[in-house]
Structure 1
Amino acid sequence: MSDPNITGKTYDTHLLRRMMRYVKPYRGIFAISVVLTIVMAVVAPALPMVIEYTLDRFILQNDIDGLQLMLMIMLGLLVVQTVIRYFHTLMTSTLGQSVIRDLRIDVFNHITGLRLKYFDRTPIGRLITRTISDLETIANIFSEGLIQIIGDILQLVVILGVMFYTDWKLTLVVLIPMPLMIGATYVFKEAMKSAFQDVRKWVSNLNTFLQEHISGISIIQYFAREEQEMHTFKAANAEHRNAHIRANWYFSIFFPVIEVIMAIALGLLVWYGSKQVLAGMLSPGVIVAFIMYINMIFRPIRELVDKFNTLQMGMVSAERIFAVLDTDEQTPNTGTQKPSVIRGDIVFDNVWFAYDEDKWVLKDISFHVKPGETLALVGATGAGKSSTINILSRFYEVNQGAILLDGVDIRQYELNYLRRTIATVLQDVFLFSDTVANNIGLNDPAITREQIVQAAKQVGAHDFIMRLPGGYDYEVQERGATLSSGQAQLISFIRALVHDPKILVLDEATSSVDTETEGLIQRAIDTLMKDRTSIVIAHRLSTIQKADKIIVLDKGEMKEMGSHQELLRIDGYYRRLYELQFHSAGI
């Protein structure tokens, strides 16, 4: 992933073009927003012009009837401007939210398709920031940024045109402080750019910190690290606060400076305009109109800075989001084969694999599992057991060699088809904040409640589920916190079975459950492994004695291979491990 602290540009044509692709489905809303922006700019000077006309033609002439008519016209203009502004805000907000809805879907789909290797080195909190808060910032580009900037610039052009048309000399006098305004605006913009970059950086850092520490709250409490982690959080939170304070400090300086410059412009207007009025060369109505014009010029310029900062923040967020979308770490899904029948014949042919280049986790692994056979993998932690099943499902790609399924390289199968063929039960069970039934069926409409219940009965978990409040509709808390480890493991096992896999993978599936629950799972395993190719990883050798083939791995290398009895006859690693486990158990 790219640097999380990308600075970006205030205006990036390439990024803007990419964002505009998401606007295409909403051309109508975009067109209406642009038209309303133009109308608002054109209508803006209408009220001062009407007031000027009213003052000179009716108030100074003491024409009460005409004054009443002009007051009605002014009221009508205010109503029209309010209605236009309402629909403009509605359209731009709708456009922004529609764009980020589609963009968020693309980001989520892209993230869920990335290889596990990407998540190994990317903090989840950073991805949450990209998907949530950074996308909200992009919405502001459309609702408060780009279109508004165009509207303000257009309004400035229209008002300046009207002012020059009305009295070009008075306009030039009023614009004398403008270089000061432009200079102050540029300095402020650059300062705010730096401040907002820091704000975005610390938002990302805080999200990452919170996600990691809330997920690992048990470890923090087990080791009584609450106070130390609080100090760390306070430091990060203080940096976030300081970045915001610095941004607000710039605002607190900039706006008073602008007010002073505007006061100078008003002073020049009064000084020069009064002399012109007294000389009979200018009407009082023009002075009143110009007072309003000055506010209408300085207000957009003042707000332009804030909107440029909104645009800047949006560009920074867009660059970060497109950096995620441009991450080319998805598992290639170029395979097309989706045979109607899979026998489950698995061959590892001289497979080499490394998470990091040249740090081999698996070294020249070769074995053959025939359809319906059970292969067991044993070895110490870090021997390469889990890596073997990870590359079988193509969560990671092999560096050398090939893996064949029914004689076909697994890379030639359509990726989703391949993964649906393999059901995996992991030691570390993950359950979603959802019902038991949805955790089992994963909201697959093809899986019926009857199939879920039948699979639960096969596992022997139906009775415990029915004892839960609501049964299969019981709401499981995040990661199954309200269930025992054995119950959570049973649910994950049912989840694998209900999808009717051709290949069953059990990764330490019984290592974290009690003896009674293990007995339930073991009985289900014996039934479900029939006519299925199975790969079992287990520290408990008692669970794999019936395996057709056992492979002993050590530091990524195959040390021994054979049945339980064959390996016991060899005075090797497996026999020593067996004797160690069963002697320590008093067997």
Structure 2
Amino acid sequence: MKPLWRINKYLYKYKGLLLLGIVFTVISNVFVIIPAQLVRIAIDYVVESFSLYRPLMQGGMGDLARENFLQVVFIFGVLILVMALLRGFFLFLIRQTIIIMSRKVEYDMKNEIFEHYQDLPLSFYRKNSTGDLMARITEDVSRVRMYLGPAIMYGLNLLILFPLVIFYMISVNAELTLYSLLPLPILSVSIYFVNNLINERSEKIQRSLSELSTFVQEAFSGIRVLKAFVREEDSAREFTKASEEYKIKSINLTRVNALFFPLIMALVGISTIITVYVGGIQVIQGEIGYGVIAEFILYVNILTWPVTSLGWVTSIVQRAAASQTRINEFLDIKNDIVSLKNLDSEIQGRIVVENLSFYYPESGIQALDQVSFEIKAGQTLGIIGTTGSGKSTIANLLMRMYDPTSGKIEVDGQDIRNYNISSLRRQMGFVPQDVFLFSDTIANNIAFGIDHPDMDLIEKAAKDADVYQNIIDFPKGFETMLGERGITLSGGQKQRVSIARAIAKEPRILILDDCLSAVDTKTENSILTALRKIMENRTSVIISHRVSSAKLADHIIVLDDGKIIERGNHDSLMNQKGVYADLYEKQTQSGEPVED
């Protein structure tokens, strides 16, 4: 139970609903016990009435006795019906309190986890798979909710009903109570083991279903590749194999489920037989009346579900504890990217990088080694290098997605760690190498970083990114939906929309991380010409493996294996006849790829 202590704060938050649920549970269980007593009294009354009925018949008072007899029986019937209705009403109230409380806690937990996810650094997402993150905020939270809702509800019912019923049974007949309850512990233990088998096999089915869904998703996502390589039959064969595994696991679960209710009914039947046998002996001996046997049979049936639920509740608690442990693992991870002085000021854009070294924490790979450079406010820096040279790492460090292993980064003379992180990033425009657009309208994607979207600003950003004409050619223009619910843009169009999104923020620092790789030379020149105007009053960093993207920068550095091997402007680097000049010659001779 220790991992579940973490959620006691939610139980305290909704203590009103929980306390009402406990009160309603006590009241509803009172209305469970009273009908059993009414049945005992009614049966004893009927038996006694029959012993008096014959003499009264012979005395000529049979009709009157019969009428009174039926009236009393009718009253007992009405009382039992009223008790049942009241029991049902309070069961409704229990669900309206405890189950609603569990849903409110589920809502709060999901929000807490999601907010915590967003606060964690980029390194966290490199270490953990998206599927695992999704599972903890959905499946694990749902399992914890089962503990907070049904498990607490049925657990309270057991804790309240069991003592009440046992107390009444003992007060009526202690010996018969002992015999009646003999099979119930066996029932509870049996249900516990059967439930464990059901849960174990259910989890196997869930994993199998997840693998099946992943297989289908990949097959349909890569349908072009499947058809191009004529692998449809192989794909169908693999799907059949995965489906067969799912079918076998499902049948195994069905076989275990088949034991559940027969087991319950068998043990309840045994308990009923014992009650009738022992109770019959006591009736013959004149120790109890017939009504007591009926009352005890009802009590046994009343206790059946709470005792049965004990194994089920125990299983739910175990699963909830395991899930809460997984949730706590992520909630206990702290973000080490924090602001030291929480500065929230408008930046001018002067960047100084001194002896910057960086090792990726998740892999231990060194990405940068003693890198130093300076960009004055309003100037443009070009960073050139091959794949794996550390270009994108510099972008991540400037955005403070990571903190450097050693060295420092200053913005306007202040250590970057002193700035409020949100304030710093809000004044930066970032176009990542891997473009991501949301399933939303083009206008909303471009306005993503703006607090108060303005259509004129959105259109201007689209024009500057040379994507305006493409957008207005769509039937719905800027209201065109992207993603699964709408159209899919080409690679070049995606990159230009991403550039427009960064420009629309009107940032003080603009970072372009190899964002022109999917556009042709003509479009690249058009975008760079537009960007040149935008970059006049902004500090800009153009990261690229293509020399053409960075040649207009005021200053260029060439990276190789995390180190700066050349620096200067385009002309001076060409005169050096080094790596930069070789890259320029090769790219010029080979020509640039043309966008599809």
Q: Same fold (TM over 0.5)?
A: yes
Aligned pairs (5 A) from 1:131-530: 131-188=137-194, 190-192=196-198, 194-195=200-201, 198=204, 245-328=251-334, 330-356=335-361, 358-442=364-448, 444-478=450-484, 482-530=488-536
Aligned position for 1:55: 43
For 2:537 and 2:502, how far apart are their aligned partners in 1?
16
Aligned position for 1:3: none
For 2:42 and 2:10, how far apart are their aligned partners in 1?
47
1:25 aligns with 2:13: yes
Which has the greater radius of gyration?
2
Farther-moved stretch of structure 1 (233-242 vs 352-361): 233-242
Cα contact 1:552–1:558 (8 A) shared by 2: yes
Residue 169 to residue 468, structure 1, CA distance change in 2 (3 Å): same
Residue 458 to residue 180, structure 1, CA distance change in 2 (3 Å): closer
Equivalent in 131, 148, 158 of residue 125 of structure 1:
131
Farther-moved stretch of structure 1 (296-305 vs 524-533): 296-305
For 1:123 and 1:212, how far apart are their aligned partners in 2?
16
Aligned position for 1:9: none
Q: CA deviation at 1:23?
A: 2.9
Farther-moved stretch of structure 1 (201-210 vs 473-482): 201-210
Cα contact 1:189–1:308 (8 A) shared by 2: no
Residue 412 to residue 243, structure 1, CA distance change in 2 (3 Å): farther
Q: CA deviation at 1:497?
A: 0.9
Cα contact 2:382–2:556 (8 A) shared by 1: yes
For 1:202 and 1:397, how far apart are their aligned partners in 2?
40
Q: CA deviation at 1:470?
A: 2.5
For 1:108 and 1:222, how far apart are their aligned partners in 2?
40
Farther-moved stretch of structure 1 (508-517 vs 183-192): 183-192
Cα contact 2:345–2:423 (8 A) shared by 1: no
Aligned position for 2:31: 43
**Matched residues, number:** 573
Query: What is the SS of the residue equivalent to 1:428?
Result: coil
1:78 aligns with 2:84: yes
Q: C-alpha deviations, 1:492-515, integer Å up to 9, x for none?
A: 111101111111111111110234
Q: Tell me, which stretches of 5 or more residues in structure 1 are unaligned?
A: 1-11
Aligned position for 2:546: 540
Q: CA deviation at 1:449?
A: 2.8
Farther-moved stretch of structure 1 (235-244 vs 470-479): 235-244
Q: CA deviation at 1:318?
A: 1.7
Query: What is the SS of the residue equivalent to 1:475?
Result: coil
TM-score, structure 1 normalization: 0.90
Q: C-alpha deviations, 1:115-134, integer Å up to 9, x for none?
A: 22222232211211111222
Percent identity (aligned): 31
Farther-moved stretch of structure 1 (550-559 vs 193-202): 193-202
Farther-moved stretch of structure 1 (130-139 vs 379-388): 130-139
Q: C-alpha deviations, 1:313-342, integer Å up to 9, x for none?
A: 2222222222221223x2422333434331
Residue 339 to residue 48, structure 1, CA distance change in 2 (3 Å): closer
Q: C-alpha deviations, 1:68-122, integer Å up to 9, x for none?
A: 2222111111111111111212222211111111110111111122222222232
Farther-moved stretch of structure 1 (487-496 vs 96-105): 487-496
1:561 aligns with 2:567: yes
Aligned position for 2:63: none
Cα contact 1:125–1:207 (8 A) shared by 2: no
Q: CA deviation at 1:48?
A: 1.0
For 1:124 and 1:430, how far apart are their aligned partners in 2?
15
Farther-moved stretch of structure 1 (265-274 vs 307-316): 307-316
Query: What is the SS of the residue equivalent to 1:280?
Result: coil
For 1:346 and 1:370, how far apart are their aligned partners in 2?
6
Q: CA deviation at 1:433?
A: 0.6
TM-score, structure 2 normalization: 0.89
For 1:187 and 1:405, how far apart are their aligned partners in 2?
63
Residue 219 to residue 112, structure 1, CA distance change in 2 (3 Å): farther
Residue 280 to residue 443, structure 1, CA distance change in 2 (3 Å): farther
Query: What is the SS of the residue equivalent to 1:351?
Result: strand
For 1:116 and 1:224, how far apart are their aligned partners in 2?
39
1:576 aligns with 2:564: no
Q: CA deviation at 1:401?
A: 0.9
Cα contact 2:558–2:564 (8 A) shared by 1: yes
Residue 218 to residue 310, structure 1, CA distance change in 2 (3 Å): farther
For 2:127 and 2:43, how far apart are their aligned partners in 1?
70
Q: Tell me, which stretches of 5 or more residues in structure 2 are unaligned?
A: 50-65
Query: What is the SS of the residue equivalent to 2:138?
Result: helix
Cα contact 2:544–2:550 (8 A) shared by 1: yes
Q: CA deviation at 1:385?
A: 0.6
Aligned position for 1:7: none
Q: CA deviation at 1:204?
A: 6.6
For 1:547 and 1:390, how far apart are their aligned partners in 2?
20
Compute the RMSD of aligned alpha carbons.
Answer: 2.7
Aligned position for 1:4: none
Cα contact 1:507–1:538 (8 A) shared by 2: yes
Q: CA deviation at 1:489?
A: 1.9
For 1:215 and 1:322, how far apart are their aligned partners in 2?
34
For 1:320 and 1:213, how far apart are their aligned partners in 2?
31
Q: C-alpha deviations, 1:367-421, integer Å up to 9, x for none?
A: 1111111111111111111111111112122111111111111111111112112
For 1:457 and 1:511, how far apart are their aligned partners in 2?
19
For 1:475 and 1:132, how far apart are their aligned partners in 2?
27
For 1:332 and 1:216, how far apart are their aligned partners in 2?
38
Cα contact 1:459–1:523 (8 A) shared by 2: no
For 1:205 and 1:331, how far apart are their aligned partners in 2?
35
Query: What is the SS of the residue equivalent to 2:356?
Result: strand
Q: CA deviation at 1:222?
A: 6.3
Residue 359 to residue 477, structure 1, CA distance change in 2 (3 Å): closer
